[in-house]
Structure 1
Amino acid sequence: MWYFSWILGLSLACAFSILNAMWFELRVVAHNERKREELLQQRAAMQDE
């Protein structure tokens, strides 16, 4: 019966790693969007001068 706990642990570890990768991707996308907005604001400010 030890194999049930082993399979459960392995599937939980896989699920955790997938969720962690998805969270990391969302953070990278949000960071890139923030940087893009800052760059666009800087360009707009330079054109106004």
Structure 2
Amino acid sequence: MAVDLGQFDHPSWLTVAGTGLGYALILAVLTLTMFIVPWLVFSAL
């Protein structure tokens, strides 16, 4: 069965990738500010 990879050239796939990347970036920033920064502050005391 031949797979046509041309179907993934549609701009909607770029939107899906951008949404996933943006979501991951927001999660990383929230994790940093809610867990890592307070842990560093309290461990320094």
**Into which bin does the TM-score normalised by the smaller protein fall?**
0.5 to 0.7
Match for 1:20: what amino acid?
V
Q: CA RMSD in A?
A: 1.8
Q: TM-score, normalised by structure 2?
A: 0.62
Match for 1:26: what amino acid?
G
Q: Percentage identity across aligned positions?
A: 3
Higher CA-based Rg: 1
Q: State the 4+ residue runs in structure 1 displaced beyond 4 angstroms.
A: none
Structure 1 unpaired stretches of 5+: 1-9
